[in-house]
Amino acid sequence: MHWPIIRVKVAERSMEPALRPGDWLLVRRTRRIRPGQIVLARHPGRPEMLIVKRAARRADGGWWLESDNLGAGAVDSRRFGVVPGPLIEGHVLARYWRPRTGAAPQG
């Protein structure tokens, strides 16, 4: 069974400033994507690897996905081309941060 909403943790800097390493994302599983949305997809050359990118535009057979932070040496459609539609897992609904544990209360 696939849950309709999953959570993933951002690991790289390719989507800064919108997303930073350590951010957690809630992703709605859907293939109904609009340009400008941040999406979770499988890397076309390494389907076991999940990537978080911005859906720049629809292209023949899929989506052109881009990083927001070009200076991070990001891997996106400029490197691997169009991402086929079936490799799109969903779009990001929300970003959150996990509370720090073990912190002493202030006051």
At 99 the pLDDT is 61
Tens digit of pLDDT for each residue in 22-39? 999 999 999 899 999 999
**Residue 25 sits in a domain of what CATH number?**
2.10.109.10
Query: Residue 77: its pLDDT value, please?
Result: 96
What residue type is 81 in one-letter code? Answer: G
d(CA 10, CA 62): 23
Q: Is residue 33 part of a domain?
A: yes
Range of the domain at 49: 5-96
pLDDT at 49: 94
Q: Which residues of the chain have pLDDT under 70?
A: 1, 98-107
Residue 42: φ, ψ to 5°? -95, 135
Residue 101, in any domain of the structure? no
Residue 64 falls inside a structural domain: yes
Its pTM surpasses 0.75 = yes
State the total domains in the chain: 1
- Give the type of residue at 53: K
What is the reported pLDDT for 31? 85
Amino acid 74: pLDDT: 74
Containing 42, the helix (H) or strand (E) segment is strand 38-42
